[in-house]
Amino acid sequence: MTPFEQTFENLLRLDIWALAKLFVLVFLGVYVAFAVVLVKQVKLMTAVLDGNLNLPLKALALAHLVLAGMVLLLALSIL
């Protein structure tokens, strides 16, 4: 059974921890969207002011996005 199917079945049984897991996953999904906006923000800012730290800042924003995605996957698998 895949994690999604397991989660759905637990929901049907109204398992409190399944609901908590769903809540955490939704929250992390929103957080990933925020991380995407952050990458966009850095791109916008570096377009306005082009300096020596542009590349490291873009890399950091991207790393944050990747980290958010990984945490989402981690939550999906271990919760």
CB 79 within 8 Å of CB 15: no
C-alpha dihedral sign at 41, 61, 28, 66: positive
Minimum distance, C-beta of residue 8 to other proteins, in the bound complex (Å): 19
* Dist CA 48 CA 54 (whole Å): 11
Taking CB under 8 A as the criterion, the residue among 20, 55, 66, 73 binding other proteins is 20
Binding site for other proteins (CB under 8 A): 17, 20, 24, 27-28, 31, 34-35, 37-38, 40-42, 44-45, 47-53, 57, 60-61, 64, 67-68, 71, 74-75, 78-79
